[in-house]
Amino acid sequence: MLLDLGVSSLQLDDAERGFSYARPAPLDMRMDTTTGETAAELLAGASEAELRRILWTYGEERFAPRIASAIVRARAEQELTTSVQLADIVRRAVPMAKQKTGGHPAKRTFQAIRIAVNAELEVLEDALPRAVEALAVGGRIVVESYHSLEDRMVKRELARGATSSAPRDWPVEPETHRPYLELLVRGAEKADDGEIERNPRSTSVRLRAARRTRDTPEHLRRTA
With 60 as the cut, is the pLDDT of residue 223 above it?
A: no
> Using 50, 70 and 90 to split pLDDT, how confident is the model at 52?
very high
> Using 50, 70 and 90 to split pLDDT, how confident is the model at 97?
confident
Residue 136, pLDDT score: 96
- What is 7-118's CATH topology? DNA polymerase; domain 1 (1.10.150)
Residue 102, pLDDT score: 66
0.85 surpassed by pTM: no
**23, 81, 139, 216, 222 from 133: Cα distances, Å:** 41, 42, 10, 8, 8
For CATH 3.40.50.150, the residue range(s) in the chain are 121-220
Question: Mean pLDDT lowest for which of 71-85, 129-143, 190-204, 209-223?
Answer: 209-223
Give the chain's mean pLDDT. Answer: 90
DSSP single-letter state for residue 143? E
Measure the CA–CA gap between 124 and 151, rounded to whole angstroms.
11
> To the nearest whole percent, how much of the chain has pLDDT over 90?
68
With 80 as the cut, is the pLDDT of residue 30 above it?
A: yes
For CATH 1.10.150.170, the residue range(s) in the chain are 7-118
> Using 50, 70 and 90 to split pLDDT, how confident is the model at 198?
very high
Strand order in the sheet with 2-4: 2-4, 140-145, 206-212, 181-183
With 80 as the cut, is the pLDDT of residue 165 above it?
A: no
| CATH assignment, 121-220 | 3.40.50.150
